[in-house]
Structure 1
Amino acid sequence: MKKLLLTLAAGALFFGAQAQISIMPKAGVSLASVASKSAGESSTSDMKTGFAFGVAAPISVSEQFSVQPELLYIQKGGEEKNNGLTTSATINYLEIPVMARAHFGGFYVGAGPYLGIALGGKAKIDDGSASIEADLNIGTDEAEDDVKPTDFGLYFGLGYGFEVGSGKLVLDARYGLGLSNTLPGGDSDNFNKNRNIAITVGYAIPLGQ
């Protein structure tokens, strides 16, 4: 047992010595839609543009592999147009993605899960001459609420980073596949699931240098 503990400790020290941690502010846009099913009939809303910004902490384990936890504010939702009437919803999430990334020179591909916490949102109806807005209710009550308080899904993405000054400028594009049913009281024949494309620019600043 003592030998095993010493081996694990040595491995942890080696990993800590090899890993390079950076802090990376990032910002961009979220092109969001909602995949829905109502009474068994599927549909997908039009995309709605929102904001995405936050901070990431890229951890470079080697030249070929890194792990990147993030804390993001991101807007999701969607819109629909019918007979001159536009109905849209914007949901604000505090999101925690963790991306595993494989690097090929300056390029990388990545994937990982995310957890989203709904902070609030608005629904809007616009007929071209006037509009009405209302706050969305966040919760799990089927009769009272519009959106569940949490969302879970996967991100798949790619990007490119290059040296600028003492840090690295990083261009990132990713697709978000929501796995959670965000409709309170929903089931397999009645659901809303988030979809989005996020495009961001970040600047990674190495720590300890």
Structure 2
Amino acid sequence: MQGPSVAYGLGGKYKYEEGSQKIETKVKFGNGNSSNDDLYLGNKIDFGVQFGGGVLIAGKVMVDVRYGLGLTNITDGSNAKNGGFQFTVGVPISLK
């Protein structure tokens, strides 16, 4: 199954490692100044596409795998986009 998606950024963490250099900062949204403590991104809203599918095993366990591909630049003046895998295992509940 595939289809469009809309995401709204609340915050997060940015981790970067190159050689012996490790950086971990908080991600915030708005027009603040990025520093060593916080990384500010200008765009809270991300439009994208979801790809994936799932199966129902013996009518009791649901397994779903998806990939989300962001289509909107998350920072001004660059080509940085979101992307991520989602793996779900659950039990379906009938609401009838």
Q: TM-score range by the shorter chain?
A: 0.7 to 0.9
| Runs of 4+ in structure 1 over 6 Å off | 127-130
TM-score by length of 1: 0.37
Secondary structure at 2:28's aligned position in 1?
coil
Structure with higher helix content = 1
Q: How many residue pairs get matched?
A: 90
Paired position in structure 2 for 1:180: 72
Q: Give deviations 1:135-194, integer Å, cap 9, x for gaps.
A: 12212x385523521211111112111312xxxx211111212111111x23xxx22111
Matched residues in 2 for 1:134 and 1:172: separation?
A: 31
Secondary structure at 1:161's aligned position in 2?
strand
Percent identity reads: 38
Paired position in structure 2 for 1:63: none
- 5 Å-filtered alignment, 1:90-101, equals none
- Work out whether 1:118 is the aligned partner of 2:6: no
Matched residues in 1 for 2:54 and 2:42: separation?
A: 31
- 5 Å-filtered alignment, 1:136-155, equals 136-139=27-30, 141=31, 145-146=40-41, 148-155=43-50
Q: Give deviations 1:75-133, integer Å, cap 9, x for gaps.
A: xxxxxxxxxxxxxxxxxxxxxxxxxxxxxxxxxxx112211111111223557878553
Q: Give deviations 1:23-43, integer Å, cap 9, x for gaps.
A: xxxxxxxxxxxxxxxxxxxxx
Structure 2, unpaired ranges of 5+: 35-39
Matched residues in 1 for 2:88 and 2:42: separation?
A: 26
- Two-structure CA RMSD over aligned residues (Å): 2.6
Structure with higher strand content = 1
Structure 1, unpaired ranges of 5+: 1-109
**Structure 2: which amino acid aligns with 1:205?**
I
Do 2:10 and 2:28's aligned partners in 1 also have CA atoms closer than 8 Å?
no
Matched residues in 1 for 2:41 and 2:7: separation?
A: 16
Do 1:112 and 1:156's aligned partners in 2 also have CA atoms closer than 8 Å?
yes
